[in-house]
Amino acid sequence: MSRFLMGKVQPAAYTAMHALDKFMQESSINKNHYELIKIRAAQINGCAYCVNAHTKEALKLGENPQKLYLVGVWREATNVFDEQEQLVLAITEEITLIHNHGLSDELYNKAIAVFGEVKTAEIIMGAITINAWTRIGVSLNMQPQI
């Protein structure tokens, strides 16, 4: 079923979302980490459009295709994902599934120890940003462009 395009119906809101995207792109977050955040949140939220788009983007950044196949099962593929990637994916899951218990103190403290406050804040904002986008995509039944 065809649904409206948010950018046409609410252009000011869409512009604000793009401003948040621009902030994230200009931040110091590792670009590959950011794509992993986007892919994992999109998988959890069931946004096929976003999974497809961000997998393509990760490939353009030179990410290993085999790694991308395993994002959804990263906990069983710890030999594939390094400590920082595992931490980024765990944070993404806890934020995406915020209704379960929020971002745990244990994970928050580990992120601060590994990344520092600024990068941890960027990881959190990255997860928040893609969660907003995936909710738009799923709500409006956006289809992947193959």
Q: How far is CA 117 from CA 51, 87, 92, 108, 122, in A?
A: 28, 14, 16, 10, 9
Give the domain CATH number at 135: 1.20.1290.10
**Which residue range forms the structural domain that includes residue 107?**
30-139
pTM for the whole structure: 0.95
**Does a structural domain hold residue 20?**
no
Q: In this predicted model, what pLDDT tens digit does every residue of 20-65 receive, in sequence order?
A: 999 999 999 999 999 999 999 999 999 999 999 999 999 999 999 9
Return the structure tokens found at 14. 């869409």
- On the question of pLDDT at 140 being above 70, the answer is yes
Q: How many domains is the chain built from?
A: 1
In the chain, % helix, strand, coil (3-state, to 5) comes to: 75, 0, 25
